[in-house]
Amino acid sequence: MKRPPSGVLTMTAPVSVIRPSTMKSWVGALFLAGVFGAAGGAAQDRVLVLEGGTLIDGTGRNPVPDSVIVVQGTRIKAVGTRGQLSYPPTGTIIKLDGRTILPGLIDGHVHLREYQLPMFLPYGVTTIADIHNDTAWSIAQRDALRSGRIRGPRLFVSGARVTGPLGAPTTDGSYVRTVDEARAYVRTLAAAGVDHIKVDLTITGEQLRAVIEEANARGLRALGHTQDIRKAVAMGFKHMEHTDTMARSLLAQAGKEIPRGSSPEAIVDPKLFPPLIDYLVKQGVYVNPTLVLVWGASTERWRDWTATKAQIVNDPGLAFVPADAKAAWTREPGPARAGYANVAVFLRQYAEAGGKVLAATDTGIPPIVPGLSLHEEMRMLTDTGIPPMRALQGATLWAAEVIGRDKDLGSVEPGKLADFTVIEGNPLADIRATTRVRMVIKGGEVMETAYDPKWVNPIPRPGGNGR
Ligand SMILES: [Zn+2]
């Protein structure tokens, strides 16, 4: 492809559109020739300038109106404001007046399914972390994304989680009976090339300690489910997945039994929260409550999402999504789980104490819509009283930190990879603005985000599509 002339591209206001797939006509007319083509030049020298948008950079700092972001090649070279920052006249300039620029969004809790990869970029999700999947397949997906064989987000993977004697034996090679087997399994995963380790709550405390040690010795983070978050954190664990583990921890401390069939969150006494929160915050624990999955049915949110989901399942662009996956998105949720009010109090107090709460979705569990669910999760975080700025950080910088990728990802700062999600509206006033995605840039390239209805994953997943 011939290198296009440099020039100024002005973003005209599109109509208010929630369906990302309709971006095609709009992006196509203005940008296909100019910006997508820019990828064909000398990639390392290519200069892209984002000019005039309001920048929310992921660090929690105040928004920067009239910002200028200079990208060279795949990385951010400079960040400033119009008039204050100069840049070479040879670059491609994208005018973003009236738009808000966020770091590319990160969903740090995914169990990737065969059909899902095309659904992340249209929702502004430029990075996902898989925490439990078929090991060889997820590594192959990651590598196919990296090489450009598949277009989609950046992917980091755990391979199959570590499972153990507190649960029924698993058959995927992840079942470890002893501490030594746990160590050996982590070494096997590391040798296979995973990016982090995922644990299940079926391993014993001694096994968890060994897993953390083996993982950390290889520069890998251990993430996942635990029986008792206080005990896990005392061993060096920094991730709280779901909220049952904090409730079990407090109930054990109070000497309380959990009645059969009730959720520990429903019977825990919120008066016990502050000391535990204080400890977890001091230890730098990232909390991933998975609100949409676990607590969506306990709130009005499921009703709110119904219309959006009904529209999505009829999108002809999504013809590549299996019918049973679509049916699961729109199915009525089961009965409301008791305990939401306590969880909301815990999360709000955690954020007020300076703790980092992640927006990360458990995509891969059938009712969760890939991409869209990250926006729903941010909204449910703000429902608990967490400020929108912190909800955004939970889907950007903190999401990068918890998987050890914050050197490259998660915020708009010089030296980092040039991943941006450009939206319409002010998400600090109304977090729903994040769904109005207008442009997605990954590694300094404006991404094509229209769906290909005939898309087929070139690498079949064991267990098949949709599952
Ligand atoms: Zn999960």
Q: What single string gives the DSSP state of each residue in 352-370?
A: HTT-EE-----BTBTTPPT
Distance set, CA 49 to CA 65, 240, 266 (Å)? 15, 38, 51
Ligand 1 centroid – CA 110 distance (Å): 6
User: In this predicted model, what pLDDT tens digit does every residue of 93-102 receive, in sequence order?
Assistant: 999 999 999 9
Confidence band, pLDDT 50/70/90 cuts, at residue 45: confident
pLDDT at 202: 97
Ligand 1 centroid – CA 132 distance (Å): 7
pLDDT at 304: 85
Backbone angles phi, psi at 102, to 5 degrees: -115, 160
Q: How far apart are CA 149 and CA 340, in angstroms?
A: 42
Ligand 1 centroid – CA 209 distance (Å): 21
- Which amino acid type is present at position 6? S
pLDDT at 446: 97
pLDDT at 465: 63
pLDDT tops 60 at residue 264: yes
Let me know: does 87 contact 78? Beta carbons within 8 Å.
yes
Ligand 1 centroid – CA 20 distance (Å): 25
User: In this predicted model, what pLDDT tens digit does every residue of 114-145 receive, in sequence order?
Assistant: 999 999 999 999 999 999 999 999 999 999 99
Ligand 1 centroid – CA 108 distance (Å): 10
pLDDT at 261: 82
Ligand 1 centroid – CA 11 distance (Å): 38
Tokens for 268?
């825990």
Where are the chain's structural domains? Answer: 8-103+414-446, 105-402
pLDDT tops 60 at residue 36: no
Ligand 1 centroid – CA 104 distance (Å): 21
Ligand 1 centroid – CA 234 distance (Å): 23
Ligand 1 centroid – CA 194 distance (Å): 17
Which phi-psi region, left, alpha or beta, contains residue 224 (left: φ > 0; alpha: ψ -120 to 50)? left
By C-alpha distance, which of 410, 449, 360 is closest to 119? Answer: 449
Ligand 1 centroid – CA 107 distance (Å): 11
Ligand 1 centroid – CA 157 distance (Å): 12
Ligand 1 centroid – CA 17 distance (Å): 30
Who wins on pLDDT, 374 or 16? 374
DSSP class of residue 271 equals G
Burial 329-362 (b: 16+ CB within 10 A, else e): beeeeeeebebbebbbebbbbbbeeebbbbbbbb
- Which amino acid type is present at position 302? W
10 Å Cβ neighbour count for 307? 9
Tokens for 366?
């059938």
Ligand 1 centroid – CA 361 distance (Å): 8
Confidence band, pLDDT 50/70/90 cuts, at residue 9: very low
pLDDT at 215: 98
Confidence band, pLDDT 50/70/90 cuts, at residue 222: very high
DSSP class of residue 98 equals T
pLDDT tops 70 at residue 269: yes
CA angle 96-444-102, nearest 5°? 50
Ligand 1 centroid – CA 130 distance (Å): 9
Ligand 1 centroid – CA 457 distance (Å): 22
Ligand 1 centroid – CA 201 distance (Å): 12
Average pLDDT, the chain: 90
Pick the CATH number of 8-103+414-446 from 2.30.40.10, 1.10.3720.10, 3.30.450.20, 3.40.50.300: 2.30.40.10
Q: How far apart are CA 441 and CA 69, in angstroms?
A: 12
Ligand 1 centroid – CA 243 distance (Å): 13
Cβ contacts of residue 366 below 8 Å, gap of 6+?
325, 328, 329
Ligand 1 centroid – CA 289 distance (Å): 11
In percent, the amount of the chain with pLDDT more than 90 equals 82
Ligand 1 centroid – CA 362 distance (Å): 4
Among 3-17, 43-57, 363-377, the least confident range: 3-17
Ligand 1 centroid – CA 131 distance (Å): 7
pLDDT tops 70 at residue 379: yes
Q: Read out DSSP for 110-169?
A: E---TT-GGGTGGGTEEEEEE-SS-HHHHHHHHHHHHHTSS-S-EEEE--SPBB-TTSPP
Q: How far apart are CA 53 and CA 66, in angstroms?
A: 5
Ligand 1 centroid – CA 272 distance (Å): 27
CATH 3.20.20.140 fits domain 105-402:
yes
Ligand 1 centroid – CA 33 distance (Å): 40
